Amino acid sequence: MLNTKEIRSYFPILDQEINGHPLVYLDNGATSQKPRQVIEAIKKYYEFENSNVHRGVHTLGNRATDSYEGAREKVRKFMNAKSTKEVIFTRGTTTAINMVAQSYGLANLKEGDEIVITHMEHHSNIIPWQQLAKRTGAVLKYIDLEADGTLSLEKVRETITNQTKIVSIVYVSNVLGTMNPIKEITQIAHEHGAVMVVDGAQAAPHLKLDVQALDCDFLAFSGHKMCGPTGIGVLYGKEALLEKMEPIEFGGEMIDFVGLYDSTWKELPWKFEGGTPIIAGAIGLGAAIDFLEEIGLDEIEQHEHELAAYAMQKMSAIDGLTIYGPTDPAKRAGIVTFNLDDVHPHDVATVLDMSGIAVRAGHHCAQPLMKWLQCVATARASFYIYNSEEDIDSLVTGLVSAKEYFNDVF
C-alpha cells in the first residue's frame, strides 16, 4: 500500500468537508484531483515564462518553448516511445482518437473494409469509428465479451479478418475495470495487416505504459485523469505512420512554407499541432508525470489492485449488491462498478454524497456496454493514489445505510 496519508497532503482539494463530512473522493475514473506540484508548475509558467512557443526570438519565448518541449520529452519517456516525433499533444483522448479516424481512417479505408472494436468501449472509442464507417462504407464490428466482462483471444481471432484495417480497443475499461491483453491483440491485428489503436485513458494513470512493448500503432490518453490539468492529452503514433498522415487542422505553427495556393507542413510532431498549442496544459502534464513517477507507476498499479481486492471483498458482503466485471481482482484496475437491489444508482449516489462520498452514477459514457450488462445505469467507485482502505470502509458504511434507508424507512 502507498503512503496515502502523505500523498493526500499534496492535494489541497481533499482537505475539505462535503455536506458536513470529510470528502471521500471515489470518482477518479471521471477525473483525478490535482496535486500542489501540478498547480504550482502551471502557476510558475504563467508567472515567469508565459509566451508563445516556437515564435519569439526573445528570452521568454525561449523559456516557454523549452518548458513545452521539455514536457514532450517527459511524455515520451513516460510511455517509452522511440522519439518525441511520436508524441502529439491534443485536447484529450477524444480528440486523439478522432484524429486517427479522420486522418488515418479517411485516407486508408474503403467500402468493405472492417473496423473492429469491443462491447466495452467508451463513447469516444465508438462514435469516431461509426462516423468513419458511414463515410467510407467500411463495416464496424464488435468483439463479444465473456460473461465476466473480459475479452477472450479466441473471440478476438474470430472477429479480426484480412478485411480488418483498424482495431481499436480500450486498455483498461472505465466501467468493468478489465485490463485487456493489448499486446496479444496487437499481434493478431498485425497478422491481418490492421493497425492497432489503444484507448489508454484509464491505463495511463494507473500502470506503466510501454508503447514499444505493446507494439501498438496509436495510443491515446488524457492528462486530467492522471493528476494533470484538463484540456491536455496525448496521441502516440508510430513515426512511419504519422509521417504518411495528413494533418486535420491547418493554420499557424504547423506550417513550413505558405504560398498563395499551396503550403507545406512542418516536420513531426508539429504538423499535427495547428495553432498556438496547449502550452500550460502540457507543462502541467509534465509535472503530473514527474509526480507519478516519483511515487512509481508499478507501485500505483499494485496499490489499486489491493484496493480493488479489498473493495470487492467488503462490498460483496453487502446483501443485494452486484459487482460487474472480472471477479478476479488481479485482472482489474481500481474501478468497481455495482448496483444495489431496489435502489437506483442515482439514489445511491445522492445518499453517499450526503456523507461526503463522491461516486459516479449513470451510464459512464458507455451505453452499448450498459445494454450488454442489461442495466440502464450503474454506480461506480474508482480509486486512486490518495485512496485508502478507510475510504472503502466509509463507502461500505454509506452503502449499507443507503440500503437501510430505502428498504426500511419506506
Partner 1 sequence: MSSNLDQLYRRVIMDHYKNPRNKGSIEDGALTIDMNNPTCGDRIHLTLQVEDGKIQNAKFDGEGCSISMASASMMTQAVKGKTVEEALQLSSTFSEMMLGKDYDDSIELEDIESLSGVSQFPARIKCATLAWKAMEKGVSLDKD
Ligand X SMILES: Cc1ncc(COP(=O)(O)O)c(C=O)c1O
In angstroms, give the least distance from the CB of 90 to ligand X: 9
- 150 vs 145, 326, 376, 392, CA distance in Å? 6, 7, 20, 24
Q: Which is nearer to partner 1, 250 or 405 (CB)?
A: 405
Residues contacting partner 1: total by CB under 8 A: 22
Yes or no: say if 35 and 10 are a contact pair by the CB < 8 Å rule.
yes
Nearer to ligand X, 118 or 394 (CB): 118
Footprint of partner 1 on residues 345-374 (CB under 8 A)?
Answer: 345-347, 350-351, 353-355, 361-363, 367, 370
Binding partner selected for residue 202 from ligand X, partner 1, none, CB under the kind-specific 5 to 8 Å limit = ligand X
Regarding 124 and contact with ligand X (CB under 6 A), the answer is: yes
* Residue nearer to ligand X on the CB measure, 105 or 233: 233
305-344 binders of partner 1 (CB under 8 A): 344
Nearer to partner 1, 332 or 360 (CB): 360
Instruction: Decide if 365 is catalytic.
Output: yes
263 binds partner 1 (CB under 8 A): no
Binding mask 193-212 for ligand X (x = CB under 6 A): ------x-xx----------
Among 216, 227, 365, 375, the active-site one is: 365
389 binds partner 1 (CB under 8 A): no
Residue 170 binds ligand X, judged by CB under 6 A: yes
CB of 370 to partner 1, least distance (A): 7
Q: Is 388 in the site for partner 1 (CB under 8 A)?
A: no
The distance of closest approach from Cβ of residue 63 to partner 1 in the complex, given in angstroms and rounded to an integer, is 42
88 near ligand X, rule: CB under 6 A:
no
Interacting residue ranges for ligand X, rule: CB under 6 A? 92-94, 122, 124-125, 170, 174, 199, 201-202, 222, 365
